[in-house]
């Protein structure tokens, strides 16, 4: 845990330093692009682990990281194009969110089996997350 906190502190310090030099928006744009690259590499690694049948969580991890990379790359590109309507209202983003949600459901499936939870848990948890998010979005 100390290693994780230390690394987070060093990265945050580097990001703050960078933001002071090139501005917050530029720093955010560069950092977002870096996260897309890292997420893609991690997704590919987990897909490989799933292919060699190392762990049942690997497929869920692959979908989660791939979905995260795709969604973030979408927002990264949207920011780079200054909010282009062609990008901001495309159905492709919904596909990327679906991939991300699939990763979550696959994770919940393994978790549910581990804790002997009801069979519908992997579907119920993402559905509940969408309902809660909808309530927070439209009732706030």
* Per-residue pLDDT reduced to its tens digit, 94-103: 888 889 989 8
Confidence tier at 87 by pLDDT (50, 70, 90): low
Confidence tier at 13 by pLDDT (50, 70, 90): very high
CB pairs under 8 A, 24+ apart, for 104-110?
104/60, 104/64, 104/129, 105/60, 106/59, 106/60, 106/63, 106/64, 107/57, 107/60, 107/61, 107/64, 109/60, 110/56, 110/57, 110/60
Give the model's pLDDT for residue 137. Answer: 83
Number of domains in the chain: 1
Is pLDDT larger for residue 140 or for residue 32? Answer: 32
pLDDT in tens, 23-77: 988 888 888 888 998 999 899 999 999 999 888 788 889 999 999 999 888 888 8
| Residue-range definition of the domain harbouring residue 112 | 2-138
């Amino acid at each position: 845990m100390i290693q994780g906190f230390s690394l987070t502190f060093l990265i945050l310090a580097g990001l703050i330093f960078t933001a002071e030099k090139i501005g917050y928006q530029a720093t955010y744009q560069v950092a977002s692009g870096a996260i897309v690259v890292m997420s893609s590499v991690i997704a590919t690694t987990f897909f490989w682990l799933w292919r060699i049948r190392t762990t049942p969580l690997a497929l869920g991890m692959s979908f989660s990281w791939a979905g995260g990379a795709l969604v973030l790359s979408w927002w990264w590109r949207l920011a780079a194009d200054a909010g282009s309507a062609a990008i901001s209202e495309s159905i492709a983003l919904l596909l990327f969110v679906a991939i991300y949600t699939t990763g979550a459901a696959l994770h919940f499936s393994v978790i549910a089996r581990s804790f002997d939870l009801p069979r519908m848990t992997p579907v119920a948890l993402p559905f509940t997350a969408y309902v809660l998010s909808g309530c927070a979005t439209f009732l706030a």
